[in-house]
Amino acid sequence: MRKKLVVGNWKMYGNSIENEQLLNSIVAGLTGLQIEQCAVCVPYPYLPSVQNKLNNTNISWGAQNVSQYQKGAYTGEVSTSMLNDFGCTFVIIGHSERRSLFGENNDIVAEKYVAAQGGKLTPILCVGETLEQRERGITEQIIQEQLMTIINKAGVESLSKAVVAYEPVWAIGTGKTAAPNQAQEVHTFIRNSIGTQDMTIAKELTILYGGSVKANNAAELFAMPDIDGGLIGGASLVADDFVAICNTLNN
Ligand code: PGA
């Protein structure tokens, strides 16, 4: 059976004091969840303290980006082995903010995906269309291109060690969630499209939905047959909301 998962993406928010409070409440609120059903992806400087806090809990952690290079003169970059040093399980790859604000195209995203897997991290590969692309009716084409660059570079079998997150760009941080059936439609497309290459991998693949998931809409989204959990931005910074969203997985 494929795994269900909720991942918090803290983005560039938080500080030592706020993080400590947030993590205390999350750990206390999530005692009933199975291991690896819930994770937080945090800014690099907080990885040591997050590791300290979450070690021996049922919550995993990871980063929001990683370099495609192993080491070298790459000022400001962080490698997969550095993330290994702090016990990361996951790394978000190709988030739309990385694509649109930091120039990460499909090829760079694929290089980072390969680097992550080579470094024994589980990539959470983000795909999704902009509003303009949806209105032009090219959502499936865009997502197909995003997936195919990965499959061409890393092989379809690489998806057995990855998580995919469908995040319509128009729903991220806007309060506009995709309707459950609208999201389900794209999740089915993603699963079928991978299924044409390998049905077993497609069936086992965890596909998260991301984009304004909140405590009050998580249940109806996660009830969709091809939505296996969520990638949560804003609501992952509010302990009660994040705990409620994670606990939705067990309902
Ligand atoms: P949001 O962000 O939940 O704040 O819309 C989701 C994301 O960017 O992963």
For residue 35, the model assigns a pLDDT of 66
CATH code assigned at 93: 3.20.20.70
By residue range, what is the domain housing residue 211? 5-248
Residues annotated as catalytic (active site), given as ranges: 95, 167
For residue 173, the model assigns a pLDDT of 86
Q: Residues with Cβ < 8 Å from 176, sequence gap 6 or more?
A: 170, 211, 212
Counting ligand 1 atoms within 8 A of each CB, the residue from 130, 208, 213, 242 with the most, and so the one to mutate, is: 213
Nearest atom in ligand 1 to the alpha carbon of residue 236 is 3
Find the residues whose C-beta lies inside 6 A of ligand 1: 9, 167, 172-173, 210-213, 231-235
Residue range 55-78, pLDDT digits in tens:
999 999 999 999 999 999 999 999
Number of domains, the chain: 1
User: What is the average per-residue pLDDT within 7-30?
Assistant: 97
Taking the complete model, does pTM exceed 0.95, yes or no?
yes
Distance 236 CA to ligand 1 centre (A): 9
Q: Residues with Cβ < 8 Å from 79, sequence gap 6 or more?
A: 66, 67, 69, 70, 71, 115, 119
| Percent share of the chain, pLDDT over 70 | 99
